[in-house]
Structure 1
Amino acid sequence: MFPIRDHNPSGRTPYVTYLLLVANIAIFLSYVGLFQDPRALNALFFEYAAIPARITSGDGFRTLFSSMFLHGGWLHLAGNMLFLWIFGDNVEDEMGHIPFLVFYLATGLAAGLLHVMSAPYSPVPTVGASGAIAGVMGGYLLLFPRARVDILLILIIFFRIFPIPAWIMLVLWFALQFIGGLGSDPDAGGVAYWAHAGGFIAGIVLTLPLWLARGGPQFWNRTQGHPPHPEATYSRSRIPKVHR
């Protein structure tokens, strides 16, 4: 189950979201050829990926920033960019362009720090924008909990697209990250669950002042928990079953 679109286009052009999409894709394309050369790829990741053991030894703090713009493959990049595309524009619209950029980078750094704290001696390089994007998702949850998001559900032999409130999808996603973190060994590599969870929590915390300035619960009452724009309409919200 994963989101494919929301029903709430931004009220203004999300320049920073577009910039982040372009930056992540362009940087990935600049080194994608190194996947055919493991030695060169490892050298790149050693220099720019976040390695907890290196950071806790007092070196490589800049990699907490640079690692946010690296990805481990096409699917890693595509998944992150899809989530940023869906949730970034509305949060940017509410925050403003420059505050949103600062927010994005801050949640990414917070996610990286929590990952380092969860595995301080791990020599495994960590890459990806997912910690920062998790922060965007946390901000979206606080600002627009009832916004409609179309979910693609895949159950072995059939596919279905249907809309659900954003809070269901986002809370479920966070719960999966938290459970995954409890059941994983951060030193062994794999998914950086605690980075995802940390970014999500940081996103909620950093969005809280804006939400309170908008009136807190009164903001939800005025907007019914949706972005303050007319919803988009789609001619189809589902695809047919695919039988065996």
Structure 2
Amino acid sequence: MDGVVIPVHDVNPVRRVPWMTYGLIAANVIIFLRTPASAMIGIEELSLGDLCRQEAFFGHYGAIPDEMLHNTQLPLVPTGEVGAGQTCVIGAPSYEKIPALSVLYSMFLHGGWLHLLGNMLFLFVFGNNIEDRWGKLRFLAFYLITGYIAAYGFALANPDATVPLVGASGAVSGVLGAYLILYPGARVWSLVPILLFIPLKLPAWIVLGTWFVLQYLYATGSGVTDGGSVAYLAHVIGFAFGVLIAIVARAAQPPPPRHDGPPPPIVYSKRHWR
């Protein structure tokens, strides 16, 4: 989740434990630890064999736009083996793939530790309040549907792309969009890159607004970034969908009462003392 500032905590209390948010984070971490990408630690270079196995794994379980739109898997995919010319072997797939389900799988896959930790940090900071507002099941449905919307939106804009999409960024972006609409004035402790990283308490509309503008600039090619493999358009689509859903939900459901301070004192009438 590339951004200008790094959010670390929001001053926005919840009424109950956000078990679904914690569950999604746990699922992402556990699944990541069982994938080849988890071997990418620090600056150590992976062997060619490891890279080929990782490429084959993402080809198998990642969401590939060409497959998604044609509802059929590619005829040639990475096999995970290293060829005689020290390149990854491409061949006919040895598995049956359902492209629509690969979108679901891809939401729980990540390309490396930084990719995982960035997404989970944003989900941890902002997801609990959306879950608290909408409830566990509706939050889960929103999260998954947003992931699908973001992935298929990116696929429609890149119908011939064969590079797998992986990561929770599309779904998490929807959470950020919903948070911007529902809690624009909430204060967010963030690390701001001024010389080093300075902690500042900023309103959510600044943190998330600048994040979205940056994603939009990268998606349209107006920004400068070294992350050429990042699907910024999926971030933009997910965020916009989250904004739309939150606007509709806010109109249909007023905010719940908040109890940020101590409870009011109990005042007894004279009848209680007679």
With normalisation by structure 2, the TM-score equals 0.75
Change over 3 Å in CA distance of 1:34–1:164 after alignment to 2: closer
Aligned-partner SS, 2:27: helix
Structure with higher helix content: 1
- Match of 1:21, SS? helix
- 1:19 matched residue in structure 2: 23
Q: Would you say 1:72 and 2:111 are equivalent positions?
A: yes
**Runs (5+) with no aligned partner, structure 1:** 232-244
Match of 1:214 among 237, 253, 264: 253
State the distance in 2 between where 1:152 and 1:55 align: 38
Alignment of structure 1 residues 146-157 onto 2, 5 Å: 146-156=185-195
Q: 1:43-98 CA distances to partner (integer Å, 9 max, x unpaired)?
A: 11011111112222222121111110000000000000000000000000000010
Give the match's secondary structure for 1:69. coil
Output the amino acid matched with 1:28.
Answer: F
Match of 2:59 in 1: 46
How far residue 130 of structure 1 moved from its aligned partner, in angstroms, is 0.7
Match for 1:102 among 115, 122, 141?
A: 141
Contact 1:124 1:189 in 2 (8 A): no
Q: CA RMSD in A?
A: 1.9
| Letter aligned with residue 166 of structure 1 | A
Range moving further from structure 2, 32-41 or 134-143: 32-41
| 1:1-244 map, 5 Å | 1-32=5-36, 36=46, 37-59=50-72, 60-156=99-195, 158-183=196-221, 190-215=229-254, 228-230=258-260
Q: CA deviation at 1:196?
A: 0.2
1:176 Cα deviation from its structure 2 partner: 0.8
- Radius of gyration: which is bigger? 2
Aligned residues: 218
Residue identity (%): 44
Rounded to whole Å, the distance in 2 between the matches of 1:38 and 1:164 is 40
After superposition, the C-alpha distances for 1:28-56 in whole angstroms (9 at most, x for unaligned) are: 00114565411211111011111112222
Distance 2:178 2:29 in 1: 23
Structure with more relative contact order (C-alpha pairs < 8 Å, separation 6 or more) = 1
Task: Please give the TM-score of this superposition, normalised by the length of structure 1.
Answer: 0.84
How far apart are the structure 2 equivalents of 1:119 and 1:125?
12
Amino acid at match of 2:21: T
Partners of 2:27 and 2:228 lie apart in 1 by 25
Structure 2 unpaired stretches of 5+: 41-45, 73-98, 262-274
- CA distance in structure 1 between the aligned counterparts of 2:51 and 2:139, rounded to whole angstroms: 36
Contact persistence 1:107–1:199 (CA under 8 A):
yes
> Is residue 68–residue 152 contact of structure 2 (8 Å, CA) maintained in 1?
no
